[in-house]
Amino acid sequence: MFFKDALIYRFTEEIPTITEKALQDNEFTPCGRQDRSKYGWVSPADDLFDELIVEEGSLTIICARREEKILPVTVINEKVREKVRYIEKSEDRRVHRKERETLKEEIIFDLLPQAFTKSTLTHAYIDHKQQILVINTGTYSKAEELMKLLRDSVGSLPVVPVQVSESPAITMTNWLRGEPLPEGFELLKACNLAEMREGGSKARLKDQELLADEIEPHLNAGKQVEMLELEYDERVKLKLHDDLAMKQLKFSEDLISESADRCDGDKIAQFRTNFVLMSAAMRDLYSDVLGAFGGNRPDPMEGL
């Protein structure tokens, strides 16, 4: 598989040993009748492997699954209103807020066994060569959820979000002002701009030549880049955000075809090859993004 999003964390100390047994203690189990949600480890390759860890060269590949019961808020609220109307009419009294909350919890409890479930997978891999953890999400809360599960499983996870020496917002804004992009990067046709003050105006531009005159008034008004659509080395298109989140990754057809050609229909080989080729592209992208913003800036708490 090829990641659609990526949040990258770097290790500040030695990478902990991740074993099959350690992950088995937090292996995924489906929701029971009264569970709202369940979260745990599954095989990163679906039904291709039973193992919870796949090792491929310098990569350690893992995956977490979240299963949630689907209880529409509109259904719950309607059931609560029906119950409140019945009590107020039959007992000739008002139902106050605290009792409404109790009724709501009772209704949720009754509905849970009948609810459908939905599942989401979050893949991640450790690149031992670059000492980084790459998580297939653009949402920091989902990344934190996976990292908490990993900490619970292996005891510690000494990682911090990637920090750079120069402001990504200012640097990317300067690219729109005409400063040359680093080698390998090319502007595409989307960006988000925002004034750097509370309540400041925003602009979301799509299918727009980003060096055109129409952009200049936004920059002169003090807006800076929040997101910039880029192509890297003709291998990856992405939306790079000012917090270094990489979203809507699109790997080139050449890269995807190369993976398919190597494997000749072997699904296990395809899974492994996808990760090898993707991680190589991500390794180069990560290094050049760091370089574009002045290199890595150590965390001030590191080593304390």
What was the pLDDT predicted at 301?
A: 54
pLDDT in tens, 125-147: 999 999 999 999 999 999 999 99
With 80 as the cut, is the pLDDT of residue 272 above it?
Answer: yes
Structure tokens at 93: 């009294």
| Among 101, 134, 160, residue at a domain's last position | 160
Is 297 contained in some domain?
Answer: no
pLDDT at 304 over 60: no
pLDDT of residue 46: 80
Look at residue 252 and tell me if it is in a domain: yes
Q: Which pLDDT value is given to residue 88?
A: 86
1 assigned to some structural domain: no
Pair of tokens at residue 252: 């080139």
Q: Is 22 within 8 Å of 154 (Cβ atoms)?
A: yes
Half-sphere exposure of 91 (CA within 13 A, CB side): 9
Q: Which residues pair with 246 in a beta bridge?
A: 6, 240
Residues 6+ apart with CB under 8 A from 143: 7, 9, 135, 137
- Dist CA 84 CA 93 (whole Å): 10
Task: Output the pTM of the full model.
Answer: 0.87
Q: How many CA atoms lie within 13 A of 70 on its CB side?
A: 5
Residue 302 in any domain: the answer is no
* 90 within domain boundaries: yes
Same domain assignment for residues 214 and 156:
no
Same domain, 196 and 283: yes
Verify that 222 and 139 share a domain, yes or no: no
pLDDT in the model for residue 202: 92
Q: How far is CA 39 from CA 18, 66, 149, 253, in A?
A: 18, 4, 9, 34
Residue 50: per-residue pLDDT: 87
Q: Which pLDDT tens digit goes with each residue over 97-117? A: 998 899 898 888 888 888 888
Q: How far apart are the C-alpha atoms of 3 and 255, rounded to whole Å?
A: 13
Per-residue confidence (pLDDT) for residue 71, from 0 to 100: 84
Is residue 176 in some structural domain?
Answer: yes
Domain end residue (candidates: 144, 160, 176): 160
Asked whether the beta carbons of 122 and 146 are under 8 A apart, the reply is: yes
Asked if 100 and 144 sit in the same domain, the reply is no
Total count of domains within the chain: 3
| Residues 124 and 260 both lie in one domain | no
Mean pLDDT of the chain: 92
Q: Which residue has the higher pLDDT, 250 or 111?
A: 250
Q: Verify that 140 and 22 share a domain, yes or no.
A: yes
Is 230 domain-assigned?
yes
Q: Cα angle vertex 137, ends 205, 2, to 5°?
A: 95
Are 225 and 250 members of one domain? Answer: yes
Residues 195, 222: contact at Cβ < 8 Å?
Answer: yes
Query: What would the mean pLDDT of 264-289 be, rounded to a whole number?
Result: 92
Average pLDDT on 43-49 reads: 87
DSSP 235-253: TEEEEEETT--EEEEEE-H
Domain carrying residue 181:
168-292
Cα 94 from Cα 76, distance rounded (Å): 20
* pLDDT for res 300: 55
Q: What is the mean pLDDT of residues 268-274?
A: 91
pLDDT over 90 at 165, yes or no: yes
Q: Which one of 100, 126, 160 terminates a domain? A: 160
The region that residue 266 occupies, defined by phi over 0 for left and psi between -120 and 50 for alpha, beta otherwise, is beta
pLDDT at 187 over 70: yes
Residue 178 and residue 60 share a domain: no
Residue 304 lies in a domain: no
Whether the CB-CB separation of 223 and 217 falls below 8 Å is answered with no
